Amino acid sequence: MERTLIILKPDAVQRGLTGDIIQRFERRGLKVVALKMLQVERSLAEEHYAIHRERPFYSGLVEYIISSPVVVMALEGKNAVKVARQSIGATNPAEAAPGTIRADFALEIGRNLIHGSDSPENAVNELALWFNESDFAPHTRVSEPWLYE
């Protein structure tokens, strides 16, 4: 099983879309193993977006993610990173495939609702930034034999 980090950004929280988005992941078969709402501290935002530090949009990313509460979660499942990113859709909602979260609920790159880890390696690092090991509640759902061979 693989885990991935998902952040429901301030626009998702402010628009009341958190339940709809979580439901999409669960219906797809991914399991929520950690979940919390928080107001992001600047230092955490800067560390999360450190890869973009030299880019002109870096300060805007940081300011936006700290502007309002977010919901962060860890999803678990086979190929969780790839499956979650397929469900999320392209970064630019105008280019996202129909039926994806961004295609269905977003209009602009700067308000694209959601972050998802882009690789299993980055997922491990990102999850460690946002969660302590004690935050995880691993469990087996009764539906798992109906999801996996």
Per-residue CA distances from 99 to 87, 88, 95 (Å): 8, 9, 12
Q: How far apart are CA 35 and CA 73, in angstroms?
A: 4
- Say if 17 falls within a structural domain: yes
- Say if 58 falls within a structural domain: no
| Total number of domains constituting the chain | 1
Instruction: Give mean pLDDT in consecutive 10-residue pieces for the chain, a chain of 149 residues.
Output: 97 98 97 98 96 93 97 98 98 97 96 97 98 95 92
Q: What is the pLDDT of residues 64-92, one digit of tens each?
A: 999 999 999 999 999 999 999 999 999 99
Q: Could you tell me the residue range of the domain that residue 95 belongs to? A: 2-39+71-147
Considering the candidates 48, 52, 115, 139, report the single residue annotated as catalytic.
Answer: 115
- Say if 47 falls within a structural domain: no
- Say if 111 falls within a structural domain: yes
CATH at 137: 3.30.70.141
- Say if 66 falls within a structural domain: no
User: Is 52 one of the catalytic residues?
Assistant: no
- Say if 132 falls within a structural domain: yes
Per-residue CA distances from 136 to 1, 2, 23, 139 (Å): 14, 13, 19, 9
CA dihedral 120, 126, 128, 131 (to 10 degrees): -120
pTM for this structure?
Answer: 0.95
